[in-house]
A and B are shown apart, each in its own frame.
Chain A
Amino acid sequence: MLQISNNVVVSLNRNGEPIGFVCQNQRYQVKQKPRRWFGRKEWWQELTGAAKGIGASAIELTIWQVVAQSSTGEIEKFELIHDEWAGRWLGVSLNQ
């Protein structure tokens, strides 16, 4: 089942890659080099303006697929979705 958590707190390395995060009061450590891609938002549903120079973050989301170990030792797969515009991280647990 997909579990979506708002307000995930993520710590990044110097290259901007996630190395650990806290989700649902659980602390996780990223175990492998994460995979990253870019997705998008339906900005026309939320933006109040779209003047030139607003920046790609108004439309784009950065998504990190990570394999992480919780403090209890379990290995889990997550998608960490960074919405830079909203200044927010979302965590999606990909475990069944």
Chain B
Amino acid sequence: MVDFTHLNVSSAYSGHYGVNRPELLAEAASSLGYQALAVTDRDGLYGAVKHISACLHFGIAPIVGVNLEVLDEAGVSIGRVTLLCHGNNQGLGWKKLCQAISIAHSNRKKTRSAAITRSQIAEIIGEDGGLTVLLGGDSNIGELSLNSRELTVRELLKWLKPFRAKSSLAIEIVSQLTKPGTKYSTDQARRLLNLADQLGLPAVLTNAVRYIEPDDALTADVLDSARHLEPLGAFEPQPNAQAWLKPQAAMEQIAEEITEDRSRASELLASTAKLARQCSLDPPSDCGWGKPKTPEKELLGISGNPFEVLWQKAHSALNWRYPGATEKTLLSAKHRLGQELITINQLNFATYFLTVADVAQMIRDMNIRLAARGSGAGSLVNFLLGISSVDPIEHNLLFERFLSTERSSLPDIDIDVESARRHDIYRSIFRRYGSDRVTLLSMQSTYRGRGAMRDSAAALGLSDEEIEQIAKNMWRFSARSFRSALGSKPELAEFAEQVSLDRKKNLLVDMTERLDRIPRHISMHPCGVILGDTSLLSLTPVEPSGIGLPMSQFDKDDMDPMGMLKLDVLGVRMQSAMAYAVAEIERIHGTKIDLDAIPKDDPATFKQIRTTNTLGIFQIESPGQRELTGKHQPTEFNDLTIQISLFRPGPMKGNMIAPYLDGRHGFKKPEYLHPDLEPILRETYGIVIFHEHVLRILNKMIGCSLARADELRRSLEKPRSKEQIEQLFRTESAARGYSPEVIERVWQILSGFSSFGFCKAHGAAFALPTYQSAWLKTHFPTEFMAGLFTHDPGMYPRRLLLAEARRLGVKILPIDINESSREYRVVMAERKTISPSEPDVGIRLALNEIRSVSEAELERIFKNQPFENLTDFYLRAKPNRRTFEHLALIGAFDSISPGSNRGEILARVKQLNAVKRKPLNETNLTLDFELLEQYPDDTEELSREEKLESELKITKLDLSEHLIEQFRPMLDELGVVRSDELVQLRNKTDVLVAGVRVATQTPPMRSGKRVVFITLDDGFGCSDATFFDEAQQRASSIMFNQRLLLIAGKTRRTGVKGVSIMAENAWDLQQLWRNFKNKKNPLA
């Protein structure tokens, strides 16, 4: 018997159709003894690269195809077919496959879903072939074969007509042993086989595989429901559970059952094997596997040797980056530059660096802020080419962590830019390099807890309310751990009870777990752009993205195997906010500020950071970072690098924070283990935090190169290679004279380090915008806050920014119908006191803060500003009824209604709203209104509460006063402590704090136990409360869903400026308020 190969297999990358990931399919095929395997996903090559990688890993031949919907000449759907690409033809088949898919997606404009016409397929295949179309049960041929042989033949002839190349068409024979006379029945397979014989077409046997095991059929049912957007039972389900990856023997049996003839069965299997051989890919020659591709050098304006150009560029930038440097500094820079360039040359990456530099220069020429992120900041070449703004020599960063001859994959250089200009940059990149060399990167979002639960619940027909109720309490866990979460998470206790009583709910839990990590939908990657040469569109299929630019079907993990250069151009809102602040400073004060050039040792900036009022400062504004700031008390730039790096999952799990702080504050004498290590670990008081530390230690103690050291560090993360490294470390360091005690202790640290550390270059790259934003907040708070308001970069709700602005003494000018614009503009504001600390500028709130106002209304308002009075506004801005009232309620008309209170203004607005806008002539209209130009003067002013309620409803901002102030009488009676008073209290004082929830976090903990951090804002700053197990139980009902909270607990001093609350219980503030107003003891 010949080897059978499955030629029609849908992986999980067939959206809501296939069940298993390609890696698992290849593994299963290999363990079944198959020599080859196809993946033929619906509508694209989303899983193709993963499939090829997995096949190479398991030593089987990869075959790739696609399943596409086909339209006839009249544009009517004639079902789905599978296109298989032929291999070993120097990429001819792969290219045509990509073209067919890209065309199918470009048709989406007309056809809604991806589809290709029959003649388009024929045209692509042309004379020289390269693809085989499998016509099977899902095509119109399959459908017709169930009814009329004559019609089927007639339709088959239509299929044959346009195809010129040999073996372009084959009939796909499938029996999933369904009911006789239905799709995928043995009957149907037999009829199709007879037709193939009659017309002399090759026939191939497949099983139209959707999953690895029959058991997965249940998962397929749920996916079908999600695809149909209907509950189970409301649509025609799959016929049975036979679409699995059957072993060869089972497929041979099916062949015999269909043919009822041994020799015909053998023929069928032989022709299947023949096509499988024809379609086996040679990834390097067919897909450009692993071969780096960069834009042609002419495009970068280079003639001659790219390396020489790079050498020139980097050297000539030395004077720019190191102006007035000493001979010694320059010499060491040159030495390092030489070493980096040698590596780059050896790897033949010169063009790559020049490309990234070219893009960076283009961004700068567009006057857009940029900063490098990640290990790329460790490269002097990047610093000199203007890709990064962090000096790696000054900050002790290592090139080898970024790039070395020990690895040959293209390095990642990530660039942060102003988020608001990101799409402009993308378009410019497309223009500059041509759309045949550039595509956006895509990403697949996969099912996680909530999404999986929602789709499973919808499949079971649960109501929207029920689904919301469950979703509300699902808090950050993967779908596959749903059941274990039921037992361990207090907020799920109620649902767990339902699960034990209700069959459907119990089923729901299992179904949710089944969907874990299955891809859900494709979207544009938030920052990736693929830059290639003119072969790009022959190597990747593209489809339209949300912003209209073409997007590759490959994701970031596919880049390295495909040899594609991915540039991460990440939009960072903070960069936009800072650019905005700098522009406002120049507009208002005429001062030009170059943020990259400000000295990095400004004492006022560090003083401001040390207060822990870090809200709005890049990277260190989260509750945890704020607490760490209080303990750490940074005094210089390197401290920021360390602090940002410490507060990462790795260093936190590795328990690095406490020992570091002990060393820093002199509670413990730093231990360096050996004098040789002191220079390496001095900056962190003997604690190994950075990848760079490990590299240097290995370099010092075993004498290997830094490049080799980085390879060892990477291998340390793999348990399998650890033993070997230990051996090497012990032998080599002993040979270099280190004592057994030192070797033992250092190894313990290295061994425990594994994946816990952080790349210092990454930390340093982040520290730059951290420092810059802190500097702006310190010296230009009004302009900086205006930038934050306009670009909203932080993790907190906007109303917290408002509270912070108030706390900083920034003047907030209310929304005003004549003064407000789209942005939060900084305006000159009259000083009301003679205090020099009172700013002479303020922030005018923007009009688009009003949620109900439409774009058209905004345009009319801005076009017609200023307005004389309400009638004038009503006539010229033509607001809708609701917008008009909303504007009045929040006080936008106060300035054009002198002498009237807000209640009267509102009454007047209602009057105007009541007048029908009749199509009268203009003069008549005006007259009518003139008569009415009187404000009702007997209306009461809105109460404090009414004002606040309207403001929150309309703008989500508490404009007139802090939200918490309305509860003041109760808070005072209960003795609630203000957040800014906490720092004066002794450790372990019993306190009550109140506020608006602004953050809830459940960071990973070393113990594995869940800890919940809740941050409240009360207008005086933030208070952070920690909920351990017991407190979580007590407050389970409000843990994740109430907004206004009262928390009881004990203070816990965490450092000079640090205090947090160990929570004991928490209550819903509004509930307490109701009790209070009913004269009951609120806490009783």
A interface residues, Cβ below 8 angstroms from B: 35-40, 42-45, 47-56, 58-61, 63, 65
What chain B residues lie within 8 Å of A50 (beta carbons)? 218, 507, 510-511, 514
A63 to B182: give the CA distance in the assembly, Å.
14
Contact in complex: B506, A58 (CB < 8 Å) = no
Out of B180, B238, B507, B511, name the residue touching A40 (CB < 8 Å): B238
What chain A residues lie within 8 Å of B239 (beta carbons)? 38-40
Known contacts: A38-B240, A40-B239, A60-B241. The answer to whether A52 contacts B215 by CB under 8 A is: yes
Contact in complex: B185, A44 (CB < 8 Å) = no
The answer to the question of B237 belonging to the interface, with a C-beta cut-off of 8 Å to chain A, is yes
30 contacts between A and B (CB under 8 A): A37-B177, A37-B186, A37-B240, A38-B240, A38-B242, A39-B178, A39-B240, A40-B237, A40-B240, A40-B241, A42-B232, A44-B221, A44-B232, A44-B459, A44-B460, A49-B510, A50-B510, A50-B511, A52-B215, A52-B510, A54-B215, A55-B215, A56-B215, A56-B217, A59-B218, A59-B221, A59-B240, A60-B217, A60-B241, A65-B180
Nearest neighbor of A40 in chain B, beta-carbon distance: B240
A52 to B213: give the CA distance in the assembly, Å.
11
* Interface of chain A: mostly helix, strand, loop or mixed: mixed
Out of A39, A58, A63, name the residue touching B218 (CB < 8 Å): A58
Contact in complex: B180, A44 (CB < 8 Å) = no
A37 to B189: give the CA distance in the assembly, Å.
14
A48 to B511: give the CA distance in the assembly, Å.
11
Contact in complex: A37, B241 (CB < 8 Å) = no
Which residues in chain B, 323-381, are within 8 Å of chain A measured between CB atoms? none
The answer to the question of B179 belonging to the interface, with a C-beta cut-off of 8 Å to chain A, is yes
A86 to B507: give the CA distance in the assembly, Å.
18
What chain B residues lie within 8 Å of A36 (beta carbons)? 177
Q: What 10 A-B pairs are tightest by C-beta distance, nearest first?
A: A56-B214, A38-B240, A50-B510, A56-B241, A60-B241, A48-B503, A51-B510, A44-B232, A40-B240, A38-B177
The answer to the question of B804 belonging to the interface, with a C-beta cut-off of 8 Å to chain A, is no
A55 to B241: give the CA distance in the assembly, Å.
10
| Residue interface bits B507-533, CB-to-A below 8 A is 1, else 0 | 100110110000000000000000000
Contact in complex: A59, B507 (CB < 8 Å) = no
Out of A37, A47, A54, A56, name the residue touching B178 (CB < 8 Å): A37
What chain B residues lie within 8 Å of A43 (beta carbons)? 218, 221
A50 to B221: give the CA distance in the assembly, Å.
12
What chain A residues lie within 8 Å of B511 (beta carbons)? 50
Which residues in chain B, 461-516, are within 8 Å of chain A measured between CB atoms? 503, 506-507, 510-511, 513-514
Known contacts: A40-B241, A56-B241. The answer to whether A48 contacts B507 by CB under 8 A is: yes
A51 to B480: give the CA distance in the assembly, Å.
11
The answer to the question of B548 belonging to the interface, with a C-beta cut-off of 8 Å to chain A, is no
Nearest neighbor of B213 in chain A, beta-carbon distance: A56
What chain B residues lie within 8 Å of A45 (beta carbons)? 233
Contact in complex: B179, A63 (CB < 8 Å) = yes
Nearest neighbor of B503 in chain A, beta-carbon distance: A48
Contact in complex: A38, B178 (CB < 8 Å) = yes
Out of A37, A58, A61, name the residue touching B180 (CB < 8 Å): A37
A38 to B241: give the CA distance in the assembly, Å.
8
What chain B residues lie within 8 Å of A40 (beta carbons)? 237-241
Contact in complex: A60, B240 (CB < 8 Å) = yes
Nearest neighbor of A45 in chain B, beta-carbon distance: B233
Contact in complex: B215, A60 (CB < 8 Å) = no
Contact in complex: B179, A37 (CB < 8 Å) = yes
Out of A37, A48, A51, A59, name the residue touching B513 (CB < 8 Å): A51
Contact in complex: A54, B240 (CB < 8 Å) = no
* A38 → chain B closest CB, angstroms: 4
What chain A residues lie within 8 Å of B507 (beta carbons)? 44, 47-50
Interface centre among A36, A40, A58 (most CB of B within 10 A): A40
A37 to B514: give the CA distance in the assembly, Å.
27
A44 to B217: give the CA distance in the assembly, Å.
13
Nearest neighbor of A44 in chain B, beta-carbon distance: B232
* A16 → chain B closest CB, angstroms: 13
A39 to B233: give the CA distance in the assembly, Å.
15
Contact in complex: B514, A52 (CB < 8 Å) = yes
* B188 → chain A closest CB, angstroms: 12
Nearest neighbor of A54 in chain B, beta-carbon distance: B215
What chain A residues lie within 8 Å of B241 (beta carbons)? 38, 40, 56, 59-60
Interface centre among B180, B185, B215, B239 (most CB of A within 10 A): B215
